[in-house]
Amino acid sequence: MKNLKKTLALLLALCMILALAACGQKAPAEAPAAEPAPAADAAPAADAAPAPQEAKWLRMATNFAYPSLDAHKDYYGWYTQIYGMTETLYRIDADMSVSPLLAKDSSVSEDGLTWTFTLADACFSNGNPVTADMVARNFQRLIEVNERYDDWADFTFTAEDEKTFVITTPDVFPTMLVALTDPEFAIMDLDATTDFDNAPICTGPFVIQSFQPEGDVEVVRNDKYWNGEVKLDGATLFYMPDADSKLLAMQAGEIDCYTSVDAAAKEIYEADPASYNLTVIPGTRMQFYVINQTRLDDSVCAAINLTVDCEAIAEFLKGTTSAAVGPFIASAPYGQVTKPAPDPAAAKALLEADGYTLNADGFYEKDGKVLELSIAHYKSRQLPDLALLMKEQLEKIGIKATLVVEEDPDAGYVATGDYDIALYCMIADTGGDPYYCVDALYRQSGKWAKAGFPTDESEALINQLQFETDIDQRAALANQIVQMSIDDNAFGYVGLFNKVSVARPGVTGFSEDIPFDFYGLTPETDIA
C-alpha cells in the first residue's frame, strides 16, 4: 500500500511540478513599451492586450507566421511588409497602378536594357540614408539567398552616385517596375543590421518591438520614418491560423481587424454592421479549369464551357469568390475579354450535332461509350466545392463526371496530363501586369501544354508580350492571348477569390482595399 501511495503521489507531483514550472517561464518576447489599447466597444478578456488608453495600438490577426524577419529569404518579405517594417522601390496601389516609393523616378534606355532609378530621400529607422550602393547590395543579396530570383543572376546592379541606381539587363525587361514591387526587393541596412532573422533595420513606418518566430509580432512606430506621419503608436500581430479562433477573438474584442475572412464568419459580420466593417474586393487569386483537348472532342470542350455557370458557383461560395470572365479583374486594362453566357441547351445541341445521344440513364454516349469526364482537383482553395458543383452542372445536362482528388497536383495530374478537366488555383496577377500569368498558363513549354492549347500563334504573341514596352500594347496582347484560350475552349476561368477583410468601426488603412496579400500596416493605418 505504501508503494501505491508513493507511486501515485510521485506521478501527480511530477505532472504538477513540470506543468506549473513550465507555465511560469517567461515569454521569450518582451512586453511592448506602449501596450495595446482595448477596443472601445468591446469588453476585453481578463488579461488580453491591456494598455494605456492614450496609446493608438492596433491588434490584428495574421494567417501565416514565419521563423525569420529576413525580407530577402523565402517569402518572409511578404510578412515584414505586412508588419509595416519593409518597403520596396515601387509599390502597387489600390487601382493596380505602380507608384514610386523608395525610388523617386526611373527611366529606361532606348535599347530597353538599362534602367536608371533616382532614389527618394529615404532613411532607415536608425537614421542612415538609403543609398544607391545599399540598394545594389540588397539586390545582390536577394539573388544570393533566394532561389526564386535565380533569373536575375545575369542582371548587373550599379550605383552611379549617392542616389542614382542602375540595373542593366541582358534582354529587354519591360516589367521591371512591376517586378520591383515584389516584397522580397525590400531594402535593409546591410551594414548596421546584426541580426537579420530577428531585428533587421529597414525603412518602413514601423520597427520591430518583439518577434516570436512563427508566432506573434509586436511593432512600434518608427520615429525616424522618412515618408510622413505614422498614425499608430504600434501594433500587435497575432498569428491565428484557425478561422474560428479569429472570429471568436473578434467577437471577444481581442483583435481589431484581419483579412481572409471565411464564408461562415462573413455571414456573422454582415449581420452586425454596427459592430463590424466588412470590406470585400476581388483579389488576384484565381480558380480555373483546364480542358484536356487532346482527349476530348471539340464539341465536348465547347459544351463544358457552355455548361459551367460561374455566377451560380460564386453564389454558392457565399461571396468568397467573384465570378470571373478571364484570369484578371475586369477593371484592369488587360482584363478585357468576353466569354459566352452559360447555355445548357446550346451545349446539348452541340453534343447531339456531334453524334452523342442520351442513354437510358440520362447520360450522353457515342458509339456505345458513355461520355464520362474526370475532374481532377486537390483539397485546397475551395476546389473540392468547385469540383462538386461542376460535376452537378455537367451531369444535369447529361455529361457524367467523376471526381479525382490528388494531394499534390503539380507532381500528379498537372505533370502527367492525366485528366479531362483539371482544376487549379494560382495568383494570376502578381503586380499590375499580365505577363506572369500568361507565361505560366499558355507557354508551349509550360505545365499546361499537355492539354493541347498552345499553338505557334499563341507562342508568338506571348514572345511579343514578353518584350513589349508599351503598356497599352501589352494589355492588348494579353487580351488577345486570353481570348484565344477562351474561344478555343481550352480554359475556363471560374472565380477570383475576394479579399474579405473585417475591422471594428474606426479602424482604417490596413490595406483592406488592395487586392494583394502582401500589404498590411502603412503610415495611414489608424484606429479611432
Distance (Å, whole) CA 376 – CA 289: 9
Q: How far is the CB of 76 from other proteins (least distance, A)?
A: 9
In the set 120, 350, 425, 461, which binds other proteins (CB under 8 A)? 425
In the set 270, 405, 436, 455, which binds other proteins (CB under 8 A)? 436
- Amino acid at residue number 358: L
Q: Which stretch binds other proteins (CB under 8 A): 8-16, 294-302, 327-335, 505-513?
A: 8-16
Helix (H) or strand (E) holding 352: helix 344-353
Using CB under 8 A as the binding rule, whether residue 162 contacts other proteins is answered as: no
Site for other proteins in 94-153 (CB under 8 A): 147-148, 150-151
Q: Which stretch binds other proteins (CB under 8 A): 24-32, 161-169, 387-395, 453-461?
A: 24-32
In the set 56, 58, 78, 453, which binds other proteins (CB under 8 A)? 78
**CA nearest to 212, candidates 23, 27, 34:** 27
Using CB under 8 A as the binding rule, whether residue 24 contacts other proteins is answered as: yes
Q: Which stretch binds other proteins (CB under 8 A): 159-167, 291-299, 313-321, 407-415?
A: 407-415
Distance (Å, whole) CA 400 – CA 385: 17
Nearer of residues 193 and 359 to other proteins, judged by Cβ: 193
Question: Burial of 126 by CB count in 10 Å (0-12 exposed, 13-18 middle, 19+ buried)?
Answer: middle
Using CB under 8 A as the binding rule, whether residue 11 contacts other proteins is answered as: yes
Q: Which stretch binds other proteins (CB under 8 A): 37-45, 169-177, 351-359, 457-465?
A: 37-45
In this structure, what C-alpha cell is assigned to residue 490? 481550352
The answer to whether residues 162 and 120 touch, using CB atoms and an 8 Å cutoff, is: no
Q: How far is the CB of 282 from other proteins (least distance, A)?
A: 16
The answer to whether residues 416 and 390 touch, using CB atoms and an 8 Å cutoff, is: no
Using CB under 8 A as the binding rule, whether residue 272 contacts other proteins is answered as: no
Distance (Å, whole) CA 79 – CA 72: 11
Using CB under 8 A as the binding rule, whether residue 40 contacts other proteins is answered as: no
Using CB under 8 A as the binding rule, whether residue 214 contacts other proteins is answered as: yes
In this structure, what C-alpha cell is assigned to residue 28? 521569450
Q: How far is the CB of 105 from other proteins (least distance, A)?
A: 28
Using CB under 8 A as the binding rule, whether residue 426 contacts other proteins is answered as: yes
Using CB under 8 A as the binding rule, whether residue 44 contacts other proteins is answered as: yes
Site for other proteins in 346-365 (CB under 8 A): none
In this structure, what C-alpha cell is assigned to residue 140? 545582390
Distance (Å, whole) CA 321 – CA 389: 14
Neighbour-count burial for 350-367, b at 16+ CB within 10 Å, e otherwise: bbeeeebeeeeeebbbee
Q: How far is the CB of 20 from other proteins (least distance, A)?
A: 8
Using CB under 8 A as the binding rule, whether residue 170 contacts other proteins is answered as: no
Q: Which stretch binds other proteins (CB under 8 A): 18-26, 257-265, 329-337, 389-397?
A: 18-26
Using CB under 8 A as the binding rule, whether residue 93 contacts other proteins is answered as: no
In the set 111, 361, 407, 456, which binds other proteins (CB under 8 A)? 407
Number of residues assigned to the chain: 528
In the block, residue with C-alpha cell 512586453: 31
Give the list of residues 6+ apart from residue 56 with CB closer than 8 angstroms, or none: 37, 231, 232, 233, 526, 527
Q: Which stretch binds other proteins (CB under 8 A): 2-10, 200-208, 323-331, 350-358?
A: 2-10
**CA nearest to 188, candidates 81, 105, 106:** 81
Give the list of residues 6+ apart from residue 392 with CB closer than 8 angstroms, or none: none
Q: Which stretch binds other proteins (CB under 8 A): 62-70, 170-178, 329-337, 350-358?
A: 62-70
In this structure, what C-alpha cell is assigned to residue 482? 486570353
Rg (CA), the chain: 27
Using CB under 8 A as the binding rule, whether residue 411 contacts other proteins is answered as: yes
Site for other proteins in 495-524 (CB under 8 A): 517
Question: Burial of 426 by CB count in 10 Å (0-12 exposed, 13-18 middle, 19+ buried)?
Answer: middle
The answer to whether residues 324 and 310 touch, using CB atoms and an 8 Å cutoff, is: yes
Nearer of residues 51 and 399 to other proteins, judged by Cβ: 51
Nearer of residues 27 and 460 to other proteins, judged by Cβ: 27
In the set 440, 455, 509, 526, which binds other proteins (CB under 8 A)? 440
Using CB under 8 A as the binding rule, whether residue 194 contacts other proteins is answered as: no
In the set 7, 156, 294, 463, which binds other proteins (CB under 8 A)? 7
Q: How far is the CB of 514 from other proteins (least distance, A)?
A: 16
Distance (Å, whole) CA 78 – CA 80: 6
**CA nearest to 267, candidates 327, 318, 214, 203:** 318
Nearer of residues 60 and 371 to other proteins, judged by Cβ: 60
Using CB under 8 A as the binding rule, whether residue 410 contacts other proteins is answered as: yes
Q: How far is the CB of 333 from other proteins (least distance, A)?
A: 22
Using CB under 8 A as the binding rule, whether residue 242 contacts other proteins is answered as: yes
Q: How far is the CB of 265 from other proteins (least distance, A)?
A: 12
Q: How far is the CB of 367 from other proteins (least distance, A)?
A: 34
Using CB under 8 A as the binding rule, whether residue 456 contacts other proteins is answered as: no
φ, ψ dihedrals at 307, nearest 5°: -95, -40
In this structure, what C-alpha cell is assigned to residue 317? 461560395
Site for other proteins in 278-337 (CB under 8 A): 285
Q: How far is the CB of 435 from other proteins (least distance, A)?
A: 12
Q: How many CB atoms lie within 10 A of CB 346?
A: 15
| Positions of E strands within 1-110 | 57-62, 90-92, 98-100, 103-108
